[in-house]
Chain A
Amino acid sequence: GAVVSQHPSWVICKSGTSVKIECRSLDFQATTMFWYRQFPKQSLMLMATSNEGSKATYEQGVEKDKFLINHASLTLSTLTVTSAHPEDSSFYICSANTGSYGYTFGSGTRLTVV
């Protein structure tokens, strides 16, 4: 089946630094990748939708200059949290659209900003 590999699984960074999270589709081409953020004991909130070769579409309230999404190839989408602050600490997870109503989730990245 379709597999999305997400790295790193966890990362601790200092406030003010940037962190890059990668999601790779291993055995299929991911035209569309969704990026979610999940705070403890809360739901998955869609941050943005990225399509290969075009600019990401951000949900209302999500700062596009802070959360940079790149989808330069059909197998790799990245999320960079720039100038991270403690309030950005969260569980970030990607989900590739594998065709119509097919979704494959990455394993998630636990980001802690200290």
Chain B
Amino acid sequence: GENVEQHPSTLSVQEGDSAVIKCTYSDSASNYFPWYKQELGKRPQLIIDIRSNVGEKKDQRIAVTLNKTAKHFSLHITETQPEDSAVYFCAASKAGDYKLSFGAGTTVTVRA
């Protein structure tokens, strides 16, 4: 099955700085890569996603890049704010079963 690895496990940044989280996947058939933000005890919230026919996608302060050849994708958050503090998960899925395989998560702390 799909194996998604995520790094780093924790990330502390100064408010206003950028944060980058990286993920790799194993199944070359995977073609959908969402990023979720999860606050303690809450459901994951989709913040951005990218499909395999696109190399980069941006939504205001958040961007995702995808390198299909290397099988890795990254989340970039610019101008971080305290409310960006949360756990972020990357995930991957493919057509057919559409199962989401999640990375281990990154705890992001934005220092004021």
Q: Which of B63-71, B73-81, B96-104 contacts A (4 or more CB under 8 A)?
A: B96-104
Contacting A107 at CB < 8 Å: which of B42, B49, B99, B104?
A: B42
Q: How large is the interface on B (under 10, 10 to 19, 20 to 34, 35 or more residues)?
A: 20 to 34
Interface residues of B (CB under 8 A from A): 1, 32, 34, 41-44, 46, 49, 51, 89, 93, 95, 97-105
Contact A46 B101 (CB under 8 A): yes
Chain B contact surface mostly: loop
User: A44, B104: Cβ atoms under 8 Å?
Assistant: no
Total contacting residues, chain A, CB less than 8 A: 21
Of residues 81 to 105 in A, which have CB atoms within 8 Å of B's CB atoms?
91, 93, 95, 97, 100-101, 103, 105
**CA gap between A106 and B45 in the complex, in Å:** 11
